[in-house]
């Protein structure tokens, strides 16, 4: 059984529509390490979630990257949503940046089942190495090996606009893609173009071959 690891019900709705075969949400709040990129955060989360669950896991880390803000809020998107709120992020962009206020949504899926496949290049962050070394030290041996993780990334470009629509979740009302905000799409329409949909498509293809 594949566990899709997230505390966010909005993500679950989209992922379950996309993934085939037995999959269930694992509502597990893994440690989000600090990093400028989503890859190491998702990889670290997948290793931790796999150790917790003992079953194959898929972790989903996403963020909104606003070009004119050097990618902010990016990996801090959840923090910015909780502190500022989505509408304030829009107002900030509106005040500080010229139209068209370009941005990208990114999603990185990290898969870990503890086992044998060729890991993605360099999905290992420093925290994982330190943790592995600490586990080794506890056992009085050197452990630097970390669990292999496979990463699947998806990106969609768009612009930050005044909120429209009441579907989706998070930043969806202020992210417009080709004239429509993500909150104006149903999850099938969003999946067809979104960062998450693109990452899920890549994962699905790889996973189907792996489990054949
Ligand atoms: P988990 O970590 O438990 O999966 P989360 O909501 O914290 O849940 P992220 O850290 O990946 O997930 O999300 C970062 C922020 O980006 C958070 O505020 C989300 O609401 C938002 N977000 C992620 N994907 C989104 C999407 O497809 N549409 C709109 N907002 C999204
Ligand atoms: Na999170």
User: What value does the mean pLDDT take over residues 68-84?
Assistant: 97
DSSP for 45-88? HHHHHHHHHSS-EEEEEEEEEEGGGTTTBGGGHHHHHHHT-HHH
pTM for the structure as a whole: 0.93
**What pLDDT, on the 0 to 100 scale, is given for residue 121?**
77
32-47 pLDDT, tens digit per residue, is 999 989 999 999 999 9
Nearest CA residue ID for atom 19, ligand 1: 170
User: What value does the mean pLDDT take over residues 72-83?
Assistant: 97
CATH number, domain with residue 97: 3.90.950.10
Q: Decide if the complex's ipTM is over 0.95.
A: yes
CA of 11 to the centre of ligand 1 (A): 8
Nearest CA residue ID for atom 23, ligand 1: 62
Q: Which of 78, 109, 158, 177 to mutate to test the pocket of ligand 1 (most atoms within 8 A of CB)?
A: 78
195: tokens are 């960062």
pLDDT at position 143 over 80: no
Helical (H) or strand (E) element with 5: strand 2-5
What's the order of all strands across the beta sheet hosting 150-160? 23-26, 2-5, 57-66, 102-112, 150-160, 175-177, 180-181
CA dist., res. 116 & res. 147, Å (int): 9
In which residue are the tokens 């989209």 written?
Answer: 14
pLDDT band at 131 (very low <50, low <70, confident <90, very high): confident
Please count the structural domains in the chain: 1
Q: Provide the domain limits for residue 103.
A: 2-211
In which residue are the tokens 């290049």 written?
Answer: 121
CB 34 within 8 A of CB 74: no
> Any idea which ligand is nearest the CA of 82?
1
Higher pLDDT, 21 or 16: 16
Question: Percent of the chain, pLDDT > 70?
Answer: 97
pLDDT at position 83 over 90: yes
> Any idea which ligand is nearest the CA of 62?
1
pLDDT at position 86 over 90: yes
Three-state DSSP at 105 gives strand
Arithmetic mean of pLDDT over the chain: 93
User: What value does the mean pLDDT take over residues 38-57?
Assistant: 96
pLDDT at position 109 over 70: yes
Q: Does any ligand 1 atom lie closer than 6 A to the CB of residue 62?
A: yes
Higher pLDDT, 134 or 70: 70
Residues labelled as active-site residues: 61
């Amino acid at each position: 059984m594949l566990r899709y690891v997230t505390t966010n019900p909005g993500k679950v709705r989209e992922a379950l529509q996309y993934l085939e075969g037995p999959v269930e949400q694992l509502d597990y709040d893994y440690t989000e390490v600090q990093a400028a990129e989503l890859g190491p955060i998702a990889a670290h989360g997948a290793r931790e979630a796999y150790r917790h669950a003992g079953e194959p896991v898929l972790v989903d880390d996403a963020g909104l990257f606003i070009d004119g803000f050097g990618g902010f809020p990016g990996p801090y998107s959840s923090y910015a949503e909780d502190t500022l709120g989505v509408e304030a992020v829009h107002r900030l962009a509106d005040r500080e940046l010229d139209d068209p206020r370009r941005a990208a949504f990114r999603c990185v899926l990290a898969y870990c089942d503890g086992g044998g496949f060729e890991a993605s290049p360099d999905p290992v962050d420093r925290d994982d190495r330190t943790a592995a070394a600490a586990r080794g030290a506890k056992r009085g041996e050197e452990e630097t090996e970390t669990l292999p993780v496979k990463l699947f990334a998806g990106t969609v470009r768009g612009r930050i606009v005044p909120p429209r629509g009441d579907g989706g979740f998070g930043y969806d009302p202020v992210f417009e893609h080709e004239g429509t905000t993500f909150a104006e799409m149903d999850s099938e329409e969003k999946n067809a173009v979104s960062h998450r949909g693109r990452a899920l498509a890549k994962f699905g293809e790889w996973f189907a071959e792996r489990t054949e």
